Structure 1
């Protein structure tokens, strides 16, 4: 069995794969990383675990310690110049976030063609993967909820808005929600232009805010439940991982 763990800024997601299919999965707040111990009894001892961690050293150390109690064989995915059919054109490949690298690996395995890989969580990342499997670069911007929170925190009279998306908003709540969504959608659709003419090109969307973005996106897209976990599984099966 292979256990994949995606430790993000806000949430830790995990799933267990028996070699044929996903068997079990869970999610919890990153701040409650110690609660991962509650799930350890559901996994065999000496399990193989592959981890993607962008939540900092303390979280990574906690995960390592918890897995060690079960004798797990643990490896942490790090970005590299090439892995699993994906080649990086990042100026310093090792500086790419492990979550972005895992998502690109998962996208290559899922589609095998040109795609825009969007991870919509605390931050939104928008990464270009061409038909030859070359990661050509990407964007990082505040996620939808972080944008709303920034307006509420840094302005005197704007609230944490719970409005609705409108093409032409006519109240403050809708104006904030629509503006934050338009910023996300605009970044995604502008980046997609460079691969729009490639056969079968589409946007692969993952993350907690992905469904909200998908409702208003005007490019070909596909929602992916756990693209980062899919990438970790692909990496775990690769030679030398």
Structure 2
């Protein structure tokens, strides 16, 4: 049994993976450390053979994770690093170290599941877009503030009141607070539609749109193009690396 861990900017996702092990993804907010409910869950967890980690959440949470896994199981986590080429996937970045490991793992998972042109939208604290051709060539991508970051940055510089409810129905709004809430969603959805259409032209085929990340459910109703929501896409990419003697 392997332990797969995806440390994002806000949340930590994890699951066991291996023969006879059910795929059951758990999600906690990490706040730069290992939260108590996760410590409790792992205290009775069987010792894994390996611990594979995707970390974009920073050094503090990585250090805390190492202390916990050493104390519980005497194991060091394997922090995955981006590679220029992997299983037919070739990233566009000249320097692989500058390409987020979470984005790389979503590409690995997408390319393994289907050899098809694919647009991946990871809607989290930041929103990332990555374009992939059927032959495994990564065209590049875009990064924007996520839904909450967009709203927070605008409200911090204005006197507009914050509206907690989510916009429904029309993509426009009839009051200012709701217009901010709707605008953050519609901006990401409109860019997804634009990139989807450009990828269709670039690839000469109809691409897939894969939606992942903590805000995927909030964003999905605003998308005009057909999409498949896969909340655990980073973990699926980690699972593809478990058969290697060294995944780092």
> Is the structural similarity TM-score above 0.5?
yes
**CA separation in 2, counterparts of 1:20 and 1:196?**
40
For residues 88-144 of structure 1, what are the alpha-carbon distances to aligned partners after superposition, in whole Å with 9 as ceiling and x for unaligned? 111212211111111111111222211011111111100011111111100110001
SS in 2 for 1:127: strand
Corresponding residue for 2:39? 37
With 140-149 and 17-26 compared, the bigger mean Cα shift is at 17-26
Corresponding residue for 1:28? 28
Which structure 2 residues correspond to residues 128-147 of structure 1 after superposition, within 5 A?
128-147=131-150
Corresponding residue for 2:2? 2
Tell me, yes or no, if the aligned pair for 1:152 and 1:160 is still in contact at 8 Å. no
Corresponding residue for 2:178? 174
**CA separation in 2, counterparts of 1:21 and 1:184?**
36
Structure 2: state its 5+ residue gaps. Answer: none
Please tell me the root mean square deviation across aligned C-alpha atoms, in Å: 1.9
1:223 corresponds, among 219, 225, 229, to 229
Cα 1:225/1:157, change in 2 over 3 Å: closer
Cα 1:171/1:134, change in 2 over 3 Å: same
Measured after TM superposition, the shift of residue 38 of structure 1 is: 1.9
Length-normalised TM-score, structure 1: 0.92
Higher percent of residues as strand: 1
Length-normalised TM-score, structure 2: 0.89
Cα 1:169/1:23, change in 2 over 3 Å: closer
**CA separation in 2, counterparts of 1:40 and 1:167?**
43
**CA separation in 2, counterparts of 1:56 and 1:107?**
25
For residues 204-240 of structure 1, what are the alpha-carbon distances to aligned partners after superposition, in whole Å with 9 as ceiling and x for unaligned? 0011111221112111211102000000111222464
With 34-43 and 187-196 compared, the bigger mean Cα shift is at 34-43
